[in-house]
Amino acid sequence: MRVTKTMLVCLCTVLLPLVAKAASLPAVKVEKISERVYALLGPIGLPDKHNQGYMVNSTLIIGERGVIVVDTGFTDKIGQHLAKTIKTITSKPVSYIINTHHHGDHTLGNIAFPGVEVISSAQCREALDSTAMEWIGVVENLTGMKFPDTRPVLASKTYPEDSRTKVTLQGVKLELWVPQRSHTVGDLLVYLPKEKVLIAGDIVVHKESPQFRDGFVKSWLGTLTAIQQTEFKLIIPGHGPLMNKAQFTQFHAMLDKLYQGVEAGYKKGLTDSEVRKSLDLSEWRKLHNFDDFMGGNINRTYLEVEQANF
């Protein structure tokens, strides 16, 4: 069959809307917490061609003349996607960005907000500076896409490890809490005392498995214990739906039980693989990304227990 110019034009007319649709990022799920606090929830899952690397939660805090954004996504495109959503909620400009930790899915969207002051822990800034290009490589590899305009934007204001600092940004009172190393070397939590809301980054995730790859499990558990003692009504986790106190207590108990199980197995002389077979992972199997993370999580915990008992 001879393909005519008219046929090609018709074919392009049909296919172009489909291509445009395929290129769209998943919608941001907006959860209004109060008149000034909104959770901007991303999809659950690992980066892939469909979500284009968008799989993180952000938070919008509306101040007197400007707004604060906590975590900005994996790429410049995701940052722009969040910026468009923010404009549907408020006309106030973004004045501050707070990064909860250095992982690219939480920080590399900073570049979509030019001229905005970025805040993080001191360790987060250092870690992002040294690993940003690796994270760009990760998202490009997993999505099969290129992001030439994605570059790191580091914090200009940082806070030290093991500190809690009360600040007022745009008239909003916050507590910036940098615990001892937990999910990463430089986590930062944001507490809103008026709403009793804790923005936890990946120290807390919901309905999916946490990832221990860069974690320090024992001190992470110490941070979870400190959170348990904090007066909060709601947690905005790094990934997954919003979490109440009972759900957080369950999450804390699961991590603690895992650590105790690995430690008990090690002290019995079991190898890493033998410890895996000895654990009750029934609750963990219900979580998204179980198969992707669980083996590495147990290995990381085993190595940490081994080092502690060396």
pTM recorded for the entire structure: 0.92
The domains of the chain, with CATH numbers, are 25-244 (3.60.15.10)
Q: Residue 239 carries which DSSP code?
A: S
pLDDT in tens, 45-64: 999 999 999 999 999 999 99
Between helix 217-228 and helix 245-267 the angle, nearest 10°, is 150
CA 57 from chain centre, in angstroms, equals 6
Length of the chain: 310
Q: Residue 158 carries which DSSP code?
A: E
The pLDDT mean for the chain works out to 93
Q: How confident is the model at residue 19 (pLDDT cuts 50, 70, 90)?
A: very low
Average pLDDT, stretch 75-96? 98
CB atoms near residue 134 (< 10 Å): 9
pLDDT in tens, 146-185: 999 999 999 999 999 999 999 999 999 999 999 999 999 9
What pLDDT shows up at residue 209? 97
Average pLDDT, stretch 198-223? 98
What pLDDT shows up at residue 99? 99
In angstroms, rounded to a whole number, what is the distance separating the alpha carbons of residues 177 and 181?
A: 12
Q: How confident is the model at residue 65 (pLDDT cuts 50, 70, 90)?
A: very high
What pLDDT shows up at residue 10? 41
Q: How confident is the model at residue 17 (pLDDT cuts 50, 70, 90)?
A: very low
62's CB contacts (< 8 A; 6+ apart) are 35, 36, 37, 38, 89, 90, 92, 172
Average pLDDT, stretch 136-146? 98
